[in-house]
Structure 1
Amino acid sequence: MTKPANTQLTDARRGDARADRTTFLWTAAFIFAGMTVTILSAATELQRANSAFPVGKVVLYEITGFLSFLAMFPLIAWLVTRSTPGQHSWRQVIPVHLAASLGVVILHVSLFVLLRKALVPVFFGEPYFFTDNLARDFIYEYRKSVLAYGIVLFAITFGRELEQKRRELAAAREDAKKSHRLTLKCGGRSIFVDASDVIWAKSASNYVEVKTPGAEHLARATLASIERQLGDAGANAVRVHRSWIVNADYISRIEPTGEGDLKIEMKDGATVPGSRRYRGNLNLS
């Protein structure tokens, strides 16, 4: 039974939120790594120049910038929901995010300036002064922050796509258990194939060729995911090679080729290689 539209929407939003939490952690890790490199590099440069500028200020400036940008993550995620690359027209996506990036950078700069104005006097006993030329220094900050905005924008989009793929695979496995059929994504369409009709499946780069008595389908999937679906559907599927799965009911003949490998002839006329690694999956008695 198909879920009601409102339930599907709730599930999708939960999936996006779950994906965004993972993306946030990865974003924080990468920014932290970049911040650490910047601090160490700045410390080296100050030492080379025999500068009296305190390394502690560099640390404070980088940390406040780091935390201020991370605080923008929920806003960027919200903007991605409203205008998603790959789902909405690029004529919409580009202007929306160019305009949005300007607002996000203004908020980002405003937040780290406030933090520095509050913290610099406490730790260094002097006031914090941001700029004597606002236009120049805002452009400087915008150049840096807009790149980070774009990276996070596409990271969120990619993370949600991966989560959607995970949900689709889980739904396909659940359907396989109930209906004993495979769900294949072929050229943007979903094709349903009775598991018992699958003769063999072969890995083909990022795709899998699935052969049935009446057709051959090229599915966007991994061989492992097809193998799991076949198992869930109760098909007599056997992995005989790292790139091949066969339906044992369609095997007509098995011959050894030496050194433990096999040649498997199928009832449709195909010859399938069998490697010694998977030899134990076949009943050769």
Structure 2
Amino acid sequence: MPSMTSLPASPGQELARAHHRRRVSVAVFWLAVFVTSAVTNILTLRIDADRYGIDAPTWQIATNELSSMLFSLIALPFLLAACDRWPLHADTWRRRLPLYVLGSVAWCAFHVTGMNLARVLAYRLNGAHYDPGDLGLAAVYEYLKDVRTFFLIVAVAHLVEWFGRRVQGEASLLAEPDEGPPVEPVDRPERFLVRKLGRDFLVATAEIEWAQAAGNYVNLRVRGRDYPLRSTLAALEARLDPAAFVRAHRSYLVRLSQIASIEPLDAGEARLHMADGSTLPCSRRYREGVRTAAGGIEPARRAG
């Protein structure tokens, strides 16, 4: 019997690993950006102080810049998560832009409060006094700086996502519903339009093996590739033929004809073995529905 380490990763595990690699890459990128900016600011301010005869010890300059960098980095994950959760698309930016403006105010308030407290502490430890000056004027000054940083991060985050979708390919329905009530019409699309690197091609609904929820998108698995569709899983489920697709998990919708076997697990859950050798989770809530819809599919024997 093969060891557990030799078993291929499930699509969910592969996606989780891809997301982890992406998060690490994004973290390294922004850390490098902020550290580089702080170091260059320290050097230029040190040069300016010497040039113009300003009495500013290096430790004060470093404290001011590093405290600003630290609290920007602390707030950064929340901003990137907001960009993922509430992306700015052509049909959403007018509604969501005011939320981002409010977010920039919150970003600035956190950033300024945190860095000033850190500076007060650092100065006190060095036997000095930190004076932020006129608080009202300082707040306006800091916001004018922070709002540029805030929306630069937003723009870069959305640009990266947009480029990733162009490379990967993004699916859409051939006929988008007109603007109106948020409830999408129930139909049975036979094909999806996929745009990749400026080229359009059609994907037949019959070729979709399963769909997986991923934030504001649903990834359509077609011949080993994922194409993100901007939709909820529930909305997609309402559009697809229930005789062909069945909900197996809160995050998965699977094509019945692609299920090779159903393996029961503890606590009433199950594992779906797909025709291509992949495995998908099946939660206790949906297990009996999948078994009933699958009909003649026999569950796989559990190893052990």
* TM-score computed with the length of structure 2 as normaliser: 0.49
1:12-91 equivalence runs, <5 A:
18-86=21-89, 89-91=92-94
RMSD: 3.2
- Long gaps (5+) in structure 1: 1-6, 170-182, 194-285
Determine the C-alpha separation between the residues in 2 that align with 1:76 and 1:59: 25
Corresponding residue SS for 1:130: coil
Change (3 A) 1:29 1:88: farther
For 2:147 and 2:84, locate their aligned partners in 1 and report how far apart those are by CA, in whole Å: 18
Shift of residue 86 of structure 1? 2.2
- Number of the residue aligned with 1:153: 154
The separation in 2 between residues aligned to 1:163 and 1:10, in whole angstroms, is 20
Matched, 1:191 2:192: no
Q: Secondary structure at the match of 1:45?
A: helix
Retained in 2: the 8 A contact 1:68–1:111? yes
Query: Residues 163 and 57 (structure 1 numbering): CA distance in 2 closer, same or farther, change over 3 Å?
Result: same
Residue number among 115, 120, 130 corresponding to 1:117 in the alignment:
120
Residue 106 (structure 1) shift:
0.4
Deviation sequence 1:110-155 (CA, Å, 0-9, x none):
1111211221111x21232223x21110111111111111111122
Distance change in 2, residues 1:145/1:10 (3 Å): farther
* Identity value in percent: 17
Structure of greater Rg: 1
Greater alpha carbon shift after TM alignment, 86-95 vs 48-57: 86-95
**2:100 aligns with one of 92, 97, 102:** 97
Aligned partner of residue 116 in structure 2, secondary structure: helix
Q: d(CA) in 1 for partners of 2:90 and 2:15?
A: 15
Cα gap change, 1:13/1:136 in structure 2, threshold over 3 Å: closer, same or farther?
Answer: farther
Evaluate the alpha carbon distance shift between residue 20 and residue 145 of structure 1 in structure 2; reply closer, same or farther with a 3 A threshold.
farther
Distance in 2 between the 1:125 and 1:185 partners?
62
- Shift in CA distance, 20/51, structure 1 to aligned 2, threshold 3 Å: same
Q: Which of 123, 127, 130 is residue 128 of structure 1 equivalent to? A: 130
Q: Which amino acid aligns with 1:185?
A: R
Q: Is the CA contact (8 Å cut-off) linking 2:166 and 2:195 kept in structure 1?
A: no
Quick one: structure 1 residues 156 and 11, their matched pair in 2 at CA, closer, same or farther if it must change by over 3 Å?
farther
Measured in 1, the distance between the counterparts of 2:12 and 2:95 equals 23
Tell me which stretches of 4 or more aligned residues in structure 1 moved more than 6 Å.
7-14
Structure 2: gaps of 5 or more residues: 1-9, 171-192, 205-304
- Number of residue pairs aligned between Structure 1 and Structure 2: 172
Asked if the contact 2:67/2:115 (under 8 Å) is kept, the reply is: yes
Task: Tell me which protein shows more helix as a share of its residues.
Answer: 1
Q: Residue 16 and residue 158 in structure 1: after superposition, are their counterparts in 2 closer, same or farther (change >3 A)?
A: farther
Q: Give the Cα separation in 1 of the matches to 2:94 and 2:139.
A: 27
Q: Secondary structure at the match of 2:65?
A: helix
Paired residue type of 1:154: A
Please state whether the residue corresponding to 2:129 is helix, strand or coil: coil
Alpha-carbon offset, residue 189 of structure 1: 5.2
TM-score normalised by length of structure 1: 0.52
